Structure 1
Amino acid sequence: MTQRGFTVPFIEHLGIEFVEYGAGQSHLRMLPRPEHMNAYGMAHGGVVMTLLDVTMAFAALEPQTPEVGAITVEMKTAFLRPATGALTGRGQVLHRTRTLVFLEASVFNEQGQVCAKASGTFVLKQRPSAAT
């Protein structure tokens, strides 16, 4: 995210990697570590929801406007199967207005199976110049 001019320590802590984003799409990945697991040996639901949230936020953004950020307004998540191994997030814009973006995202396991899906609404806002 440093290419956008800011950092989010929580995203860095989770080890979320940005493969690509732009044109209403995003592709992210992460390899959950032991501290990200629940008692059943799968990625904690909060970790999966964060990957979905960040995946949708980056689908809302465009590389050529790093001063604009996307803030979650609402999000609905469905967990379909355990999230194990390396995880991939893919997001896409469904509809965009001047200030709001409606999106969906999915998280896939190493076998390409959908583990969780989310839909969300994000507001686009100018990022404060003091944000780091």
Structure 2
Amino acid sequence: MNDINELIKATTVGFIDYTGMKVTKAGEGHAEGEIEIQPHHLNPAGALHGGLIFSLMDTIGGFATRTLGVLPTTLCSNINYLRPTMGTKVLKAKADVIKRGKNISVVRIDLLNDQDVLVASGASNYSDLSGRVKDESIKDLRLEQPE
């Protein structure tokens, strides 16, 4: 794919669509996204479920690598939950690729509440599946880099 908007549309289906996550901005090695909090996203304490926080951070982190032509799969993640999210209406994730190697990319991801207060921060490592995937339609779900 050659257009970032095409990439966003093609990759925001299935689980991402089901949860309500949205990619809101993407550029070279950077991506941002958000989720509007719904009652079914909350845990019994009224805070956003930690699994959904992880999913948002993982999704936006992976998308940041896609802007560099990577077809990512998560190898490992580390998330620090810093503040509770009670009362938050929208959570925003910002991800930056801090190291792109031949096969592995390292991405820093921050999660902010609707007052732009940091509520979680972490880093993930993504492996590039581009050379290992035989299905051409899946390979097309990455942003091609100009040579």
Consecutive unaligned residues of structure 2, counting only runs of 5 or more, are 142-147
Mark the CA change 1:54 to 1:6 in structure 2 (over 3 Å): closer, same or farther: closer
- Root-mean-square deviation over aligned CA pairs: 2.1
**2:117 is aligned with 1:113:** yes
On the 8 A contact 1:14/1:32 being kept in 2, the answer is: no
Consecutive unaligned residues of structure 1, counting only runs of 5 or more, are none
Match of 1:97 among 97, 101, 107: 101
* Residue-by-residue CA offset, 1:79-108 (whole Å, 9 max, x unaligned): 001122200000001100121100110110
Q: Rg larger in 1 or in 2?
A: 2
- How far residue 113 of structure 1 moved from its aligned partner, in angstroms, is 0.5
On the 8 A contact 1:102/1:121 being kept in 2, the answer is: yes
**2:42 is aligned with 1:37:** yes
In 1: Cα distance, 2:5 partner to 2:41 partner: 23
TM-score (normalizing by structure 1): 0.87
* Residue-by-residue CA offset, 1:51-78 (whole Å, 9 max, x unaligned): 1101110111127x4xx42110000111
Mark the CA change 1:116 to 1:6 in structure 2 (over 3 Å): closer, same or farther: closer
2:52 counterpart residue number: 47
Mark the CA change 1:86 to 1:60 in structure 2 (over 3 Å): closer, same or farther: same
On the 8 A contact 1:77/1:118 being kept in 2, the answer is: yes
TM-score (normalizing by structure 2): 0.79
More strand by share: 1
Q: Percent identity?
A: 23
Aligned length: 129
